A and B are shown apart, each in its own frame.
Chain A
Amino acid sequence: MTTAIRTDDLHVYFDKNHALKGVSMDIEMNRVTAVIGPSGCGKSTFIRCINRMNDLIPGCMVKGKVMVDGEDINDDEIDVVNVRRRIGMVFQKPNPFPKSIYENVAYGPRLHGVAEMADGRLRRRKHTKKDLDEIVEHSLKRAALWDEVKDRLDKSGTSLSGGQQQRLCIARTLAVNPEIILFDEPCSALDPIATAKIEDLLVDLKKDYTVVIVTHSMQQAARISDRTAFFYLGDLVEMGDTKQIFERPQKELTEQYITGRMG
């Protein structure tokens, strides 16, 4: 199995708070990796390191490496905007732009443009309307939302239900053609039916993308992930195949957490 993301001795400090304490982990390509652990264990901090979202937090310092495709994304030479295009993120609360459904999905591609070779140089040009129509349709289909919204693409994204808004956010992420998608508790604000649709979608997405999901629901991690990582107080306690973690964890701390006796 190919490694999509490799972290090496990753530390994160928020001023004096040592939030992540030397996490070394391999995340495999085209698989769903779940990150579980009690509140404050560093799981969200960890995935926010993967697309440099922690840069936006004042007082945050990141040490260690996050290797994607052989490049350390924390390197000064790296274009952060491009990192966040390649590594998309979907958040806990659906946050569509106050624009139409179409514009929500087209926004990213329009901003990034199309990369193409011209005169031996890589250039970016604007998308044509036809390009954008195709991207919007493909992304909405991939996010299993197309059939529900195809007749009202000009309606506001905020008019959709919570579950539909979350799938719209996933479509928006897919529209810029990422390699990795990070989900930070994507279902915690959704009802069981909407949650089931998102879960099915995540499992389907792994065919084309590497998926990392932070979740408070251990049952969700068990249902959809191939690999599970358990964090506690900033340490990666145990990582393994999901079946192994939930049937016979190797560490006592993991056992206590997943059986609900701690945390």
Chain B
Amino acid sequence: MTPRTTFNHEMEELSKEITEMANASRTAFERSVQMITDMDFSLREEVRALDKLVYQLNEQIDRHCLDIIALHSPVAGDLRLISACLKMVEDLNRFGRYATDIAELIDDFEEGKAFKRFESLRTMSCLVVGIVDDAVYSFLQRDAEKASHLHERDDAVDALYDSIFREILTYMMEDPRKITIGIDLILVARYMERVADHACNIGEYVYYMVTGERLDPKLRTGSVEQPPCRIFEHPDPRSELDLK
């Protein structure tokens, strides 16, 4: 008999749950952007339902991970996998939340028709969904190499976001009546950019899960100069509470 049959079964179940959650959150996000780009508002209910499912799976996986830690004391690769799952569900949950935010952002898109079709939003959506798919794929295939390259594609998403922002800003300056819809569309692009960031986070967890090494932070910053971090002093809790 293979050792630790129950444990192996639990780990397989966990992987299935993560796959289901990843599929649901990715589809929710894709549908929400499709709703905007195709102006198909019938998708809104589907996005809401998927987000609800994503939230339920988040709770379920969180409990499952804690049960496995409590009952099976995982170590080494198993422990890193559980740790990755616990963090991943938070990011996948964010995909669902952003999808709902996008779906509920624009109640009436009639005014938006005055804009030209947003091909750039559609392009950005394809890029972001591609990163999300590869992040999830890298987890399922334990592919550290793929996970380590997600940040490079995130740079393209960031650049596209800047471009969309400027484009919409131009339309808004030309016609102040389009400011409301313009801001909504900028938010859509912003949410997409955030989803790509969360997908990159997943890549980092996967890289550590597979290799046991942290991804080189230089890869994350890319070529962009980062401002120096502000260091916060940790207050002495006793002085706050006047404890001796």
Check if B80 sits within 8 Å of A246, measured CB to CB.
no
Closest residue to B8 on the A side, CB-wise? A261
CB nearest to A244 among chain B residues: B212
* Known interface pairs A247-B75, A248-B76; A261-B4 also in contact (CB < 8 Å): yes
Q: Verify A219–B73 contact, CB threshold 8 A.
A: yes
Closest to B211 in A: A248
The answer, yes or no, to whether A222 is at the interface (CB within 8 Å) is yes
- The answer to the question of A255 belonging to the interface, with a C-beta cut-off of 8 Å to chain B, is yes
B74 interface residue per 8 A CB criterion: yes
Are A260 and B3 within 8 A (Cβ)? yes
Known: A247-B212, A248-B212. A255 touches B76 (CB 8 A): yes
**0/1 interface trace, chain A 220-254, chain B, CB 8 Å (1 if under):** 00100000000000000000000000111100001
- A255–B81 Cα distance when bound, in Å, is 13
Interface presence of B78 (CB below 8 A)? yes
A259 lies within 8 A of B80 (CB): no
The answer on a CB contact under 8 Å between A261 and B3 is yes
Q: Please, which residue of chain A has its CB at the minimum distance from the CB of B77?
A: A255
Give the docked Cα–Cα distance between A246 and B78 (Å): 10
- Name the distance in Å between A189's Cβ and chain B's nearest Cβ: 22
Q: Which residues of B contact A259 (CB under 8 A)?
A: 4, 74-78
The complex places the Cα of A258 from the Cα of B77 at a distance, in Å, of: 10
Kindly state whether residue B41 has any CB partner on chain A within 8 Å. Answer: no
Main secondary structure of the interface of B (DSSP, over half): loop
Size class of the contact patch on chain A = 10 to 19
Residue B7 CB within 8 A of the other chain: yes
**Total B residues in contact with A, Cβ cutoff 8 Å:** 14
In angstroms, how far is the closest chain B Cβ from the Cβ of A212? 21
A247 to B55, CA, bound (A): 30
Q: Smallest CB–CB gap between B6 and chain A, Å?
A: 11
B200-215 vs A: 1/0 string, CB under 8 Å?
Answer: 0000000000001100
Query: Which parts of B72-114 form the interface with A (CB within 8 Å)?
Result: 73-80
Q: Which residues of A contact B80 (CB under 8 A)?
A: 247-248
CB atoms of B4 and A218 under 8 A apart: no
- List residues of chain A with CB within 8 A of the CB of B7: 260
CB neighbours of A262 from chain B (8 A): 3
Instruction: Please indicate the chain A residues that have their CB under 8 angstroms from the CB of B79 in the complex.
Output: 246-247
A245, closest chain B residue (CB):
B76
Interface residues in B156-171 (C-beta closer than 8 Å to A): none
A192 to chain B, nearest CB (A): 14
Q: For residue A263, which residues in chain B have a CB less than 8 angstroms away from its CB?
A: 3
Residue of A nearest to B4 (CB): A260
On chain B, the residues within 8 Å of A219 by CB distance are: 73
For A261, the chain B residues whose CB sits under 8 A away are: 2-4
A249 to B212, CA, bound (A): 8
- Chain B's closest residue to A218 (CB) is B75
Q: Are A249 and B76 in contact (CB under 8 A)?
A: yes
Residues of A within 8 A of B213 (CB): 248
Contacts of B4 in A (CB 8 A): 259-261
Distance of A262 from chain B, by nearest CB (Å): 7
**Distance between Cα atoms of A122 and B7 in the complex (Å):** 61
Q: How many Å lie between the Cα of A247 and that of B209 in the bound state?
A: 10
Cβ of A218: which chain B residues have Cβ within 8 Å of it?
A: 75
- With A and B bound together, what is the CA distance between A82 and B62 in angstroms? 56
Collect the chain A residues with CB atoms within 8 Å of residue B212's CB: 247-248
Residues of A within 8 A of B73 (CB): 219
Q: Tell me the nearest residue of chain B to A252, going by C-beta.
A: B77
Convert B13-44 into 0s and 1s, putting 1 for each residue whose CB lies closer than 8 angstroms to a CB of A: 00000000000000000000000000000000
Q: CB distance B76 to A247 under 8 Å?
A: yes
Which of A218, A222, A258, A259 has its CB near the most chain B CB atoms (within 10 A)? Answer: A259
Q: A247-B80, A247-B212, A248-B80 are in contact. Are A258 and B3 (CB under 8 A)?
A: no
Expressed in whole angstroms, the minimum distance between the Cβ of B10 and any Cβ of chain A is: 13
* Nearest 5 interchain pairs by C-beta: A248-B212, A260-B4, A246-B75, A255-B76, A258-B75
A selection of 8 A-B contacts at a CB cut-off of 8 Å is A246-B76, A246-B79, A247-B75, A247-B76, A248-B213, A261-B2, A261-B3, A261-B4
Residues of A within 8 A of B (CB): 218-219, 222, 246-249, 254-255, 258-263
Q: A247-B76, A247-B212, A248-B213 are in contact. List 19 more A-B contacts (CB 8 A).
A: A218-B75, A219-B73, A222-B75, A246-B75, A246-B79, A248-B76, A255-B76, A258-B75, A258-B76, A259-B4, A259-B74, A259-B75, A259-B76, A260-B4, A260-B7, A261-B3, A261-B4, A262-B3, A263-B3
